[in-house]
Chain A
Amino acid sequence: MNYLVSKTKRFISLFFLLALIVSCKDYSSLDIKPVESGSADFSSYVSVGNSLTAGFQSNALYESAQKYSYPNLLAHQLRAKDFEQPLISDPGIGSPGRIELTNLENSTTRYNTNQGQPINTGIGHPYNNLGVPGIKVDAYQNAPSNNPFYPLIVNNGNPQSPLSNIQAAVQELQPTFVTFWLGNNDILDYVTSGGLRAFTNPVDFQNQYVSAIAQIHGLESSPKILVLNIPSVASIPFATAAGPQLQNQIANNDQVPGIVVQKTFYQANQAIGASENKDYAGLIGKEDLDNTSKALILLTGRDYLPYIGVSANPQAPSYNQQAVAAILNYWRGYIVNAGYASEQEVANYSQQDIENALTQITIGQYQQTFGATQAAQFAANYPGFDFNQPFGLSGQNPFPNQFVLGENEISITNTVTGIYNQVIASQGDIQFDVNNFFNQIVSNDQYTDLNSGITLKPAIGSLFSLDGIHPTNRAYAVIANKLIEKINASTNSNIQKVNLSNIPEGIPVASEVAVN
């Protein structure tokens, strides 16, 4: 009996001992597998770039999108130390504001014109994410005078202690690893203005780009540089979404052959892909509205598409007072931008005054391109503007050039982007061909992430945020993962990819209840 009792006691003791061992095992320290960084050192990471690097989305820079900027995601996976971003509180800073969804079924949006404030200030050193929305390559060394983001981002961790340029910030940070993605705006400005604003001269581009990379290479910290090239800006929804929409709108209307668009005059210039154009306007046939090498209707022109066919003649059946006011107002702005008259002067212009001004401006543009002699000939045959003609269906009342990239401008965009990308291909230690990657997505019309099985489309709300230009949270995560692939392959590292299923979509919505 006693034997049994002692045996039982021993059994119980053994049992409690076992329980104790299992229960007391120290789980408090987390064994995170270290990153094998191969031939690279990721301890201090700095990203240089524009809005795409800043984490800009839906026309604004705001904290809840900045969290998913590709540099922030990459820094997390690289285990880079204290990667600081110049965070702006929601709804962020944008002009005129963040685009927010007001109705999902109709895809209607609005601008939230409230502006956010810098919140991650006082860190005592420059930000690691030096993505500045809107900047061109030149801004690496020369601060642009009219960029509201530059002083907020390029400083000593506080807008009150500015730095002269991005180069100075990089110099101070002495990174061991740099991603460099500039050049998009050097051509994007041309695209978003329908070819009205200039692109950066390719020779200047080369000088500025090479000089920036050389400065980074020369740092004492001798960082590895990953450069990203420029995706075809003519393939983004900003340029491709509205054309098919218009095609649908006029598909069954036999009276409307397409859209007549104001055109820019060009002298032939093979180096930049330009053909000669002496036409002041031209028809884009409805069959070409979804042909991305013929014509691209920009998202900025979407509001004017319903006005096609409207005449300013009150007697005409297609007269529409509101539409005419909007069209005349547009051209008033155009006249001011052309430097022909001041805003106050234009405000008092009659319809006739506007037509005369536009006729003069067009002749002036012709003269600038082809010289005075030819311009006189042109002027003799040019019928000028007449808003009584149907809007967008007549060379005398054309759809504004600013909202359309024509065949010539598409060719120029692609040629210049190609030249820029040749420059980029010769720079940096690791290259990621975003252009090729993005073209693949466009031609497959989708991207499937093999880890999560998530499929994203090159459309607004999926890969593209509401502005049709900038990626969404998940698209930024895709970029981070592609960079990780490149880094792993070229430095023999084993950095883990971001799990796309954990990344929320985060599409901005208008916070008050939308009226349907």
Chain B
Amino acid sequence: MPATPQTALVQDSVPKVDDTLAVGEDLGFQRSWWRFERFIWSLFLVILICDVLGLFGRGWLAKARRATPDNALTLDYEHIERASTPSVMTLTFGPAAIQNPGPNGKIQVFVSNSIVKPLGAQRISPQPSVSAVGGSGITYTFAATHAPAVVQIALEPSFPGIHPFRIQLPKEPPIDAKVFVVP
């Protein structure tokens, strides 16, 4: 036996214009939508301006600088970063950071684990002569002659969030900072 189709009576439910033209126009809703569109276009513009300024990373507002009191270490980094996007953290060492200045001079710096994992350290330049793990981080030792000495850490954060980190020189107060990684 063939299946019987379900049926319903046709009703004249579509609103008409001037009682003649079944269009279903809703001008009240449409005017609200046009207001919403004006707002959203303004919002898009604001978002783009914020982006250019660096509020979402990779711009002027994203850059940050921290230093120890005696400028033994100056840290340039981006406190707003984008996930899966490369950036560079620059460590500039002053005279107070170099132990035994001269041919046998060296710099030791402690970097917390959060630089390696959530902030995704890809490489460190120049390569440290010694890397020692422990104390929730890595202590790098670099051969250094005279100040200023510069080390760069290439970062590529893997996931969004607020990631605190610490960088410290021996016998110096630590630099504690946070990086906000946007998706």
Tell me, yes or no, whether A binds B.
Answer: no
On B, residues with C-beta under 8 Å from A are none
